[in-house]
Structure 1
């Protein structure tokens, strides 16, 4: 039996006025929720979800039981968010990502939706366990853009799956993995993963041993890299021995009392058919792009097609320029060869050639310029050998002088 040493740290970031992240660590359950929707209630959404999911913090007989319980907890949190929006229409459009881990013996159970992330650091290597439910990740998975292009894509913050008043039955990713002593599990909001390179995260995980110190260091890395977004880190170290149970603890929005205005007017619950995150805040939240209407997915796809066309045009222009440069270089080189001459043999007689004594594959870089009446057989053995090996000339006049000397030597 192994036990994790855990820590949770949340920071508002350098630009935001409020912290819309929530985190939870307990004896068996570990959660990060990143609220979206700006002033429409991102902080409320993450806090409601984290507190509802924390109710699933208990010992489970099997990992499969924990997997079912976590999935059910996320669905229940989704329903609670929808009910809250029904009661408080000013919160329309609020939502939250959730990434959660439950420990069952020597296994870890993950439940995940959105773009917060779960990482495993094992034997010096950092691996992303969760998959981002974002528009650009779909483009990467379909091969339409590269991971490097996704990192700078203008729509990289558009969520395709989220808990909230978006879908009555959201699709939750679940996974059961083995864990062992020495493993470090990291759950973080995109305030860390979007601003700190993975190699830097791995460096902190490797060199900062104490769990809480490592968690604080990761948050500091996000702030040092500009950190405009809220950043929340939950870190688990799996160690030998039974250990002592950790008392439940919330950070971020879930650590403070919920505060939102009552709304007396009610309306039917809006459940768009698209899984695209249609958040409509009174003031947009820059960390998550907020589409305006259900046709936004088509707009994004068309924009990506335009980007693809621009990439193809750019590639064709660059390829054309490269081909033109190669052709120009070849022409320059060929013209240079045609300014040179040499003396050689042609059908048993001495001849003058224009070009150089080399070939490029089947392409000859010389041509017969002038034949003479001098028989190679009339030359001395040394001269015959020199002519057969060719004699370089500085120019045409020099080639003619060489021929004149050979004619005199042959008795011509």
Structure 2
């Protein structure tokens, strides 16, 4: 059935950016935020392509699992669209976009997420971040190396570990289904909002209970008052409630609302609405015996009769042999993997995995390419420094070929 509730979508270039690379969509059942990146034009194209590919899902689905499968398929197809676009327009190499999307199906919210844009849920006076950022600093937070507050100001906070881009035709997308209820307020936003306005202030704004449009105005003003160094895009959805229902025309904001000079494959004619007085434009484990275990074995041997020591020694040899054999097989297994990373100044294909067992690294350079980091775009260089996983050697070589083409286009 059709979703019953109210929504709004607004987008602003912010105070620093010269153009808006964000896109947002609020329709009858579909709600999306896409934060593009990759240069002055590339981000515009990437986020617009994502919206164009997804807007065909703005209809009623029979069941949540159907919508989840459709979201995953459409986002994956959007990655293919980006790759195809770069083949046509090499100057756009390196572009990418985040995608956060919700499809409302009956009493369920079907969610898809890749990148560092966020989805929040305000329910029973509590704001909860539903998605997890696919960033380098989030991995540091998850491993306990830095705090959430330190992550907000970390110099590498903008380095994405996962993004919808022009290098991977099979992106790793988080999808899941959540039960929703009347009174829920869903907030989708680019990091132009979440990176400036903390969760406490966001929760306070949502708590007023104002209509989605007025609430989005408050959040945008807070981002602008905080300097708004990036584009700010907000899509807000109220489930049920007394506010005005969907009018029948989807709201499209940001670069997707005005894709000047961009040919979007399979795009449908769209009607855009720009918010008044706004410039719509921005884990590995292994087993190591503890020292206490070996000391216990030695002490046990001392307490036992000589006639049984041979049995213990035999057992110990078998255990060590099993562990050594397991480690050897495990090491051989790790050598079936490849990834693309960087040494001091160039792009390198590594064989193995990015882990160590004590002083022993489980990867080594396989091919030091002639691609210099200095020749890459800032976006490509940050991705290489963060490393790019590959499913096989041929996949890694394909990534290198795309980086080479991007570097040549960037020179």
TM-score range, shorter chain: 0.5 to 0.7
Partners of 1:294 and 1:54 in 2: CA distance: 28
Partners of 2:376 and 2:221 in 1: CA distance: 28
Aligned structure 1 segments of 4 or more residues deviating by more than 3 angstroms: 240-246, 272-276, 280-284
CA contact (8 A) 1:39 1:281 kept: no
Matched, 1:297 2:298: no
Matched, 1:164 2:190: no
* Partner secondary structure for residue 292 of structure 1: helix
Matched, 1:56 2:86: no
Partners of 2:97 and 2:86 in 1: CA distance: 13
Partner of residue 347, structure 1: none
1:10 to partner: Cα distance: 0.2
CA contact (8 A) 1:44 1:258 kept: no
CA contact (8 A) 1:25 1:31 kept: yes
Partner of residue 108, structure 1: 109
1:152 to partner: Cα distance: 1.4
* Partner secondary structure for residue 182 of structure 1: coil
Partner of residue 36, structure 1: 37
- Deviation readout 1:220-248 (Å, 9 max, x if unpaired): 11001111110000000011599555421
1:282 to partner: Cα distance: 10
CA contact (8 A) 2:43 2:96 kept: yes
* Partner secondary structure for residue 32 of structure 1: strand
Partners of 1:78 and 1:68 in 2: CA distance: 16
Using a 3 Å threshold, how does the CA distance of structure 1 residues 293 and 185 change in structure 2: closer, same or farther? closer
CA contact (8 A) 2:25 2:33 kept: yes
Q: Which residue of the other structure, out of 254, 257, 276, is the alignment partner of 1:255? A: 257
Partners of 1:122 and 1:244 in 2: CA distance: 21
- Structure 1 residue runs of 5 or longer lacking an equivalent are 262-271, 299-412
Partners of 1:119 and 1:293 in 2: CA distance: 27
* Partner secondary structure for residue 8 of structure 1: strand
* Partner secondary structure for residue 220 of structure 1: helix
Matched, 1:80 2:81: yes
CA contact (8 A) 1:13 1:227 kept: yes
Partner of residue 407, structure 1: none
Partner of residue 24, structure 2: 23
Partner of residue 182, structure 1: 183
* Partner secondary structure for residue 193 of structure 2: helix
TM-score by length of 1: 0.64
TM-score by length of 2: 0.64
CA contact (8 A) 2:8 2:212 kept: yes
* Partner secondary structure for residue 15 of structure 1: coil
Question: How many residue pairs are counted as aligned between the two chains?
Answer: 283
CA contact (8 A) 2:7 2:246 kept: no
Q: What does residue range 308-387 of structure 1 map to in structure 2 within 5 Å?
A: none
Partners of 1:76 and 1:196 in 2: CA distance: 33
- Structure 2 residue runs of 5 or longer lacking an equivalent are 264-337, 348-372, 388-411
* Partner secondary structure for residue 221 of structure 1: helix
* Partner secondary structure for residue 191 of structure 1: helix
Partners of 1:133 and 1:230 in 2: CA distance: 19
1:260 to partner: Cα distance: 5.3
